[in-house]
Amino acid sequence: MGAKQSKPAEDVNPESPSKFGLGGDKQTDLQFVSKYKPQTEGQQLRILLHGLNGAGKSSFINSVHSVLKGRISALALVDSIAYDCFTKQYTTYKIEKGNPNTFYPFVLNDMMGMKNANDRVHVKDMKRAMRGHVKDGYTFNHVYKLSKEDPYYNESPTINDKVHVLVCVIDASTDDLCGENVARTLREIRLEASELGIPQVAVFTKIDAAVPEIKQDIRNIYKSKKLKMERFSVNVGIPMNCIFAVQNYHSEMHLHNDIDTLILSTLRRIIAFGDDFLNKQNMC
Ligand SMILES: Nc1nc2c(ncn2[C@@H]2O[C@H](COP(=O)(O)OP(=O)(O)OP(=O)(O)O)[C@@H](O)[C@H]2O)c(=O)[nH]1
Ligand SMILES: [Mg+2]
């Protein structure tokens, strides 16, 4: 698939989402992301994705990669039958920027999803991951947490190993976004992140399945009561202005302007939140 073929078409729709401020302005957001540089040379902004299995974490990474590369790509592996946790390893994804071996100064971390609300091992592993103790390549399991004796335990994490923004990925297409117990567990993870000062956002995925009307008009996204964002916000404690909605690239052959716009505006905000935290850390 060549770049020419996948180049997003100019948005000729006078009622495009960007014009309604729903997804921000694509070019401005793209410029922000392209120009972003942490204040301190050599620093890297780490974005950790978590959530229930099958929520769309790996697909979000692929979507960000696709938008920034200008073509559909599959950096992180995704399973089409999400009956169990497909991603098992802790993996840091870097995105090449222009020249080979030049990367964006932010990375996206994928990890095994939470099996259910009683997945205590996941909560413990999350705490270690946020503090930077989990090395790349660690294979998670549901039976025991990463031990301090494990070769994949990072005893002395640097600022680059620690997480700077936590992204809770939610499948918006399920009837019950997250039951009471899952919400409690997500809240527990959120409180741990808050103790470390790590900002948190939520990204609702699969809005195409949740709100089929958006296929005709993507402006319906944030209006749609079907997304139940307010209820999620109250249950988990993430404020409404930190909750975003996207459609991941999951079956598309080409990029689409509206999908790009939502992914980019979400990414921009994630980076901005993480950067604030990174700067605060540097001042300490
Ligand atoms: N319709 C639709 N399907 C999606 C979207 N995002 C992801 N999917 C599908 O949802 C399934 C699970 O997606 P993954 O990205 O593997 O989810 P995950 O959170 O990484 O899952 P685990 O690794 O198992 O924890 C796959 O079949 C994807 O194609 C989306 O925005 N819309
Ligand atoms: Mg995955």
CA 191 to CA 258: how far, in whole Å? 34
In a domain, 56, yes or no: yes
pLDDT of residue 178 exceeding 80: no
Ligand 1 shell residues, CB under 6 Å: 53-59, 78-80, 82, 85-87, 113, 205-206, 208-209, 247-248, 250
**If DSSP codes are grouped into helix, strand and coil, which group holds residue 119?**
coil
With a CB cutoff of 8 Å and minimum separation 6, the contacts of 248 are: 56, 59, 60, 62, 63, 205, 206, 263
Q: What is the per-residue pLDDT across 33-47, written as a single tens digit (0 to 9) for each?
A: 999 999 999 999 999
pLDDT of residue 222 exceeding 80: no
Boundaries of domain holding 265: 47-283
In a domain, 107, yes or no: yes
In a domain, 7, yes or no: no
The pLDDT mean for the chain works out to 87
pLDDT of residue 218 exceeding 80: no
In a domain, 17, yes or no: no
In a domain, 25, yes or no: no
CATH code of the domain containing 218: 3.40.50.300
Length of the chain: 284
How many domains does the chain fold into?
Answer: 1
Identity of the amino acid at 267? L
In a domain, 146, yes or no: yes
Q: Rounded mean pLDDT of 102-113?
A: 96
Pocket test for ligand 1, best of 250, 258, 266 (most atoms within 8 A of CB): 250
Bridge partners (DSSP) of residue 18 are none
CA 229 to CA 151: how far, in whole Å? 40
In a domain, 151, yes or no: yes
> Is pLDDT larger for residue 270 or for residue 114?
270
pLDDT of residue 153 exceeding 60: yes
Determine the distance separating the centroid of ligand 1 and the alpha carbon of 280, expressed in angstroms: 34
Q: What is the pLDDT of residue 82?
A: 56
> For residue 201, how many other CB atoms are within 10 A of its CB?
21
In a domain, 19, yes or no: no
The mean-pLDDT minimum among 66-75, 89-98, 175-184, 254-263 falls in 175-184
Q: What is the pLDDT of residue 6?
A: 37
pLDDT of residue 5 exceeding 60: no
pLDDT of residue 49 exceeding 80: yes
Query: Ligand 1 atom closest to Cα of 53?
Result: 25
pLDDT > 90: what percent of the chain?
67
Q: What is the per-residue pLDDT across 73-105, written as a single tens digit (0 to 9) for each?
A: 888 878 766 557 788 899 999 999 988 889 999
Q: What is the pLDDT of residue 134?
A: 98
> Is pLDDT larger for residue 211 or for residue 268?
268
